[in-house]
Chains A and B, each alone.
Chain A
Amino acid sequence: MKTLGRILIILVVFAALSGLMVMGVNASGMSASNFRGEGGEFRPGGEMEGGFQPGIMPDGGRVRPEGFEEHGERGEGRGGGMTGLMFGAIKNTFVIGLLVVAIVVPKNVIRKNKKNSAVKSALTE
């Protein structure tokens, strides 16, 4: 019962944050399907010349923001398979490792220095 209550608390906080995020994005007008992310271009609603619809390509495909054409849709196009997955995992582990080293090593050095200075001051007293 206690665990169920805790799960409920987590889910309520999660739902509240989700609601705030959706409201925030909708209020800012970014979630419209014709939003291109740069803030410059805006495609008006309704049908355009030649029967085209905003955000829809003449061949029926959807307009993608810049960058999506090059790299393909999420999970499509590039392939990579197991080798790509391994490369990505190593790259991400390296980023995390770098952060760990950048924080843990100076922290340990500071702790050691503190310890050494404490021992020194104890010996001089």
Chain B
Amino acid sequence: MTEEVVVKNTPIQASTKLWLDIIIFIAFLITMDPRSSGIAIHEWLSLAMLAALILHLLLSWDWIVSISQRFMGKLGTQNRINYILNWLLFIDGTLLIVSGVLISEVAMPFFGIKLPEGFAWRRLHDMSANLGLLMLGLHTALHWSWIVNTTSRYLIQPLVRLVSAKSKKDAAA
């Protein structure tokens, strides 16, 4: 008998996580197109995303610890797939950041660090970015029910409540 691990978040944690994920998603879309955004925005935004990703991991820490402890034992298929995919995403993200730092043209020279040109890192950067897009899609798909529920609870419902309260106020006036 396998068991699914469900880690309950407080409302503040859940809404913080939702807003953080929205910010990471938008930043990811901008950084995925350096030709349009410009290399400076691409590099600085990517470095800023590193902090956001650490925060994302911290907010999911209980789940990570819980699954790490049970991984070799009884564990539901979805949690197992999720855990493996998250590790692959972390490895891909690391490759993306490392290769990005090694081919940096703006951020690293700003800190006075000049690294030798490496075409392999350039290719690895492109490859890991494309792979990251696919894995982000899978990550989103596996968390779809959480995304729908949390968006509804912390974004749509408060908005609907706000609009209905305003229309009631207008009708009363």
Contacts and interface: CB of A to CB of B under 8 A. Distances in A.
Interface string B81-104: 000000000110011011000110
A65 interface: yes
Contact of A72 (B30, B35, B61, B117): B35
A115 to B, nearest CB: 15
Interface in B121-155: 121-124, 133-134, 136-138, 140-142, 144
Q: Looking at chain A, what size class is its interface with the partner chain?
A: 35 or more
B118 A33 contact: yes
Contacts of B33: 80, 84-85, 88-89, 92
B32 interface: yes
B141 A100 contact: yes
Given A96-B137, A100-B140, A74 B39 contact: yes
A57 to B, nearest CB: 13
Interface string A53-89: 0010000001011001001111111111111110111
Given A22-B98, A37-B120, A75 B141 contact: no
A30 B94 contact: no
Interface string A12-31: 01100110011001000011
Q: Looking at chain B, what size class is its interface with the partner chain?
A: 35 or more
B35 A36 contact: no
Contacts of B40: 75
B9 interface: no
Contacts of A85: 30, 33, 36-37
A22 B97 CA distance: 12
9 contacts: A32-B118, A36-B119, A74-B39, A85-B33, A88-B32, A95-B134, A96-B140, A99-B138, A99-B141
Q: What are the 6 tightest A-B residue pairs by CB atom distance, in nearest-first order?
A: A75-B39, A99-B137, A88-B33, A84-B36, A30-B120, A103-B141
